[in-house]
Every structure is written in C-alpha cells, then in structure tokens.
Amino acid sequence: DQQVKQNSPSLSVQEGRISILNCDYTNSMFDYFLWYKKYPAEGPTFLISISSIKDKNEDGRFTVFLNKSAKHLSLHIVPSQPGDSAVYFCAASAWGSQGNLIFGKGTKLSVKP
C-alpha cells in the first residue's frame, strides 16, 4: 500500500501563474517531508522541506504547506517559470528512519510560456 500518494500524474500551468502540487500520506509516524525536482537523466534535486512541528515553510518562490490533521501537504510555486518544468516528487521519513525516504510516484509539471 502506498504510504505517500501524488494523485495527479501531470499538471500544466501558464508562465507567471501559481503551480500547486499536492501530496497525501497515510503513515502518522512521518515527521519530515521533502519536495524534490527531477529532470530526465539527472538525479532528484532537493527543493524544500518541512518538519511536522511547522505548518508552512518558504524559500523564495517555493512554499510548502503541511496539514497534519488531513495528512496532506502541498508545494506552491509562484510565479511559475518554464524552467520549473520537471517531475516533482514528494517524500517523507519517520524519526529513527531518516535515511529511508518514502517517495510518491511524482507529478510532471509543464509550465507553458
């Protein structure tokens, strides 16, 4: 059973608008959540993370929101740029298993000029 789910395989957004990528999880032991971006033929690149003691974390154009009661997190990209076009992975880990990231299946974001 998938512990981390990204229900949208793809998302298309116009340049300059907001991109919202969503992720749901089932394991209440997860306490650290991350977003990675991946281009073809490259490894995942770390974007932003959030600890379960927070509900929001910002880094430039990227903001991650965590709703623990709903077991849901989202990544907002504002404004979206064509260079943001990539596959985005949500990942989670539990205390004591920090080296073990559980990944979602990814969402392919296309930002159109």
Nearer to another protein, 22 or 49 (CB): 49
Q: Interface residues with another protein (CB under 8 A)? A: 31-32, 34, 36, 41-46, 49, 51, 89, 91, 93, 95-106
Residue 9 CB, shortest distance to another protein, in Å, is 11
- Least distance in angstroms from the C-beta of 92 to another protein: 11
CA distance 35 to 63: 10
Give the closest residue to 29 by CA, choosing from 91, 89, 95: 95
Query: Of 38, 8, 13, 36, which Cα lies nearest the Cα of 23?
Result: 8
Distances (CA, A) of 46 to 11, 37, 59: 20, 7, 12
Q: Which is nearer to another protein, 32 or 65 (CB)?
A: 32
What minimum distance in Å lies between the beta carbon of 22 and another protein? 16
